[in-house]
Amino acid sequence: MTREAPGAVSLGGVCPAPSTQYDRVQLGHGSGGKLSSRLVREHFLPRLGNAYLERLCDGAVVPVSSAEIVLSTDSFVVDPLEFPGGNIGHLAVHGTVNDVAMMGAEPMWLTAGFILEEGLEFDVLDRVIDAMAEAAGRAGVHIVAGDTKVVDHGKGDGMFINTTGVGRVYADFRPRPEAVRPGDAVLVSGPLGRHGMAIMAVREGFRFDSTIRSDTADLSPVVAALLRQVGSAVHAMRDATRGGVASALNEIAASAGVGVTLEQASIPVPPDVMAACELLGLDPMYVANEGVMVLFVEPAAAETVLAVLRSHPVGAGAQRIGTVAGAPPGMVVMRTGLGGTRVVDTLPGDQLPRIC
Amino acid sequence: MKYLSEYRDPDLARALVGRIRAEATRRWTLMEVCGGQTHTIVKQGIDEVLGGVVEMIHGPGCPVCVTPLVQIDRALHLAARPDVIFTSFGDMLRVPGSECDLLQVKARGGQVRIVYSPLDALEIARSNPDKEVVFFAVGFETTAPANAAAVWRARQLGVENFSVLVSHVTVPPAMTAVLESSDNRVQGFLAAGHVCTIMGWSEYEPLARRYRVPIVVTGFEPLDILEGIWMAVRQLESGRYEVENQYVRAVRREGNVPARTVVEEVFEVVDRGWRGIGVIPSSGLGLRPEFAKWDAERKFDLGGIEALEADECRAGDVLRGRIKPVECAAFGVGCTPESPLGAPMVSSEGACAAYYNFGRFRAASAAGGP
């Protein structure tokens, strides 16, 4: 299988004869015709190919030994497509793998749907698929089915990806908000705000010099280790993506009908993230992460859970940040360094930068 | 972290709280003028730790909150035009106009972009010569120099597809309006540190003398605010009414002279409407006639747009310190950050939103609620 060199065709100011050499995605790549077939055979299969995918059927037949499976789906839209620390391909694998893992399951298979914008450079697409192959390989999941569509130039931000994940439910490990109890320790697996601020730093109109890299990472090995070492002491888990740690905590507090009290001094925020947030008038509690989860665990097991988390690179910065209180139900409250309190509510929409 | 963590040290903060409590022989009522200070006070729970000794009234210094409805409606009208790219600071986007907000105009296809600097808006104009680029020039004296500089630079570069929709206001007339009101309870002010970075503090000296109120130029970090409160309380306890400067690392008496110069060259003092309060004479800035080419109000003929503010919103009383946000009947019921009636519920600097977001728990506890 060969790949065209990028830029192999020069238009040279005249209308060329129909060509099949492209360095960018054309509308025809979504036609269902030969170009579509080449898109799959030349770009996707060499990178993602496996016994399931290479059959190129309407779907994949996979063996399921467990009585229960987890299904989860997520769509990925990010501007820019490539950013410090990763690209949309990493997010598309990690995001769904993490969602499956948070449900107490071992991620096994993924499907991937791609909406490509006419004009997308194949170099970019290839780097994204490479990232997906790398991330899936490390996570031990196969991408077993996929789809590609192409939309007119101007109707998509380069590309959108949807992935659906299937995972085998671990026996005797069922983390869920209903299991949360007053007194539970509230932990985070790592420092806050790196993904969101890495994106902000390179986004058109906001560019600033920064060393911040996205934290995009697969959390499933840590979850597997927690199952082995502490099992049901983990009452609930959630990856703190959009809306940040504040939103993840609010969701669990609301579902569980408990209050959460946080200690401001113990919230881990890297100095470069803090500085960027101060500069832009943003609160790191609401900034997106792509490799951080919040955990609600039995108080007696909190130290063991922290030790397990810290023994993995993605959990090296794990901290206890608070405690579950009985009241006020559904509310997350932070104790400030001064001894005051404030509510850490869910935002009505995107966090808007403050004026001054 | 340099310039941040030093001013948030919890031990020093508790020591300052102790000093304020030791100094005060009675309960004093102070107003922090600036929305940024309100944000810190409520977010850090400073009003809570000083309860019983100092009552903080949140002043009219949130630029988002005081921008009049008619200017928001004009912004919405411009943003909806297909030939316009409308640029704004982020938190203006959710301020409700008569019918919708800028985010909704954007969703309907209007080109609305968040910028951090008016000079970025000017760059957008230069790279989109076939579009009219309008910047929403709101704010107090703090944002005025950059806005003035953008207009000045547009003239220098001959960029004619750039204009500003001006709604600039100034602090001293608002403080005078508070002090002149018959039911005023404010006994001392924390003046807005960043405004004074530009303007200095000489214009506050006649106010302190005339109304016999201490005015302390104060910064925005927790230790700044606590030290400012402590300085104001010391003045009140000793019967002094002077202008003092807590924010010595940023503010000089004469302010920032080059910044003031560009403001004076581009802007002139005008009467300005304040949302919820009404027109305050000589309380705002407008473009001088020689910069009319860059004035969106003249360029686009916006005179026909009028607006009527909602009756049930008591933003004006909140902004003047007459009531606390929780004393408004609509607070948290008909008016929430998801569907705000008035601007103080929109901006995170707004007193109502600050109460709702950061203080709801305390309000619920005090009322014996959940």
A314 pLDDT above the threshold of 50: yes
Show residues of chain A in contact with B47, CB under 8 Å: 340
A7 pLDDT above the threshold of 70: no
Find, in chain B, the residue whose alpha carbon is nearest to that of A271. Answer: B1
Query: Of the candidates B331, B321, B323, which has an alpha carbon nearest to the alpha carbon of residue B359?
Result: B331
pLDDT of residue A210: 80
In a domain, B17, yes or no: yes
In a domain, B55, yes or no: yes
Are B106 and B47 within one domain?
A: no
Check if the beta carbon of residue A245 is closer than 8 Å to that of residue A193: no
Q: What is the domain-level CATH number for residue B185? A: 3.40.50.11750
Give me the sheet containing B162-169, strands edge to edge.
B111-114, B84-88, B132-139, B162-169, B278-287, B267-274
Test the B interface: residue of A206, A263, A278, A355 with most B CBs within 10 Å: A355
- What's the sign of the alpha-carbon dihedral B212, B217, B221, B227? negative
In a domain, B368, yes or no: no
Task: Classify domain A27-169 at the CATH superfamily level.
Answer: PurM-like, N-terminal domain (3.30.1330.10)
If you count residue pairs, one on A and one on B, with CB atoms under 8 Å apart, how many are there?
117
Q: How far apart are CA A110 and CA A145, in angstroms?
A: 7
- A13: pLDDT confidence band, cut at 50, 70 and 90? very low
pLDDT of residue B365: 57
pLDDT of residue A160: 97
Find, in chain A, the residue whose alpha carbon is nearest to that of B1. Answer: A271
Burial of A344 (0-12, 13-18, 19+ CB in 10 A): buried
A266 touches chain B (CB under 8 A): no
Sorted by where each begins, the domain ranges of chain A are 27-169, 177-343
- A262: pLDDT confidence band, cut at 50, 70 and 90? very high
Are B198 and B329 within one domain?
A: no
Are B32 and B72 within one domain?
A: no
Are B329 and B203 within one domain?
A: no
Q: Cβ contact (<8 Å) for B45 and A280?
A: no
User: Among the three residues B300, B329, B347, which one is the final residue of a domain in this structure?
Assistant: B300
Burial of A210 (0-12, 13-18, 19+ CB in 10 A): middle
Which residues of chain B fall short of a pLDDT of 70?
1-3, 347-349, 358-370
A108 pLDDT above the threshold of 70: yes
Test the A interface: residue of B116, B140, B224, B352 with most A CBs within 10 Å: B116
Helix axes A88-102, A122-139, angle to 10 degrees: 30
In a domain, B113, yes or no: yes
pLDDT of residue B264: 97
DSSP E strand stretches across chain A: 69-76, 82-83, 86-87, 105-117, 142-151, 159-169, 185-188, 234-239, 259-263, 293-297, 319-325, 332-335, 341-343
Q: How far apart are CA A178 and CA A336, in angstroms?
A: 28
CA distances from B234 to B7, B229, B253 (A): 21, 9, 21
Show residues of chain A in contact with B94, CB under 8 Å: 348-349, 352
Bridge pairing between strands A293-297 and A332-335? unpaired
pLDDT of residue A20: 55
Are B232 and B291 within one domain?
A: no
Q: How far apart are CA B342 and CA B97, in angstroms?
A: 9
Q: What is the domain-level CATH number for residue B290? A: 3.40.50.11740
Give the lowest-confidence range in A41-45, A83-87, B5-9, B158-162.
B5-9
Q: Cβ contact (<8 Å) for B93 and A341?
A: no
Residue appearing with tokens 């694998």: A93
Are B52 and B133 within one domain?
A: no
pLDDT of residue B306: 83
Q: Cβ contact (<8 Å) for B359 and A342?
A: yes
Q: Of B4, B45, B139, which is closest to A356 when you measure between CB atoms?
A: B139
The residue ranking higher by pLDDT, B266 or A280, is: B266
Are B41 and B131 within one domain?
A: no
In a domain, B264, yes or no: no
Task: Classify domain A177-343 at the CATH superfamily level.
Answer: PurM-like C-terminal domain (3.90.650.10)
Q: How far apart are CA B78 and CA B134, in angstroms?
A: 8
Express each pLDDT in A154-204 by its tens digit. Answer: 999 999 999 999 999 998 888 999 999 999 999 999 999 999 999 988 886
Are B36 and B124 within one domain?
A: no
pLDDT of residue A10: 39
pLDDT of residue B27: 96
In a domain, B254, yes or no: no
A205 touches chain B (CB under 8 A): yes
Are B200 and B133 within one domain?
A: no
Q: What is the pTM (predicted TM-score) of this model?
A: 0.83
Give the lowest-confidence range in A76-90, A276-290, B217-231.
A276-290
Check if the beta carbon of residue B253 is closer than 8 Å to that of residue B201: yes
In a domain, B195, yes or no: yes
Are B125 and B155 within one domain?
A: yes
Show residues of chain B in contact with A336, CB under 8 Å: 43-45
CA distances from A160 to A75, A312, B10, B317 (A): 7, 31, 46, 48
pLDDT of residue B212: 97
Q: Cβ contact (<8 Å) for B39 and A354?
A: yes
Residue appearing with tokens 């467990």: A66
Query: Of the candidates B225, B164, B171, which has an alpha carbon nearest to the alpha carbon of residue B198?
Result: B171
What's the number of domains chain B is made of? 3
In a domain, B180, yes or no: yes
Show residues of chain B in contact with A285, CB under 8 Å: none
Half-sphere exposure of residue B155: CA atoms within 13 angstroms, side-chain side: 17
Are B73 and B193 within one domain?
A: no
Domain that holds residue B145: 65-166+283-300
In the structure encoding, which two tokens stand for residue A84, read together?
């410090």
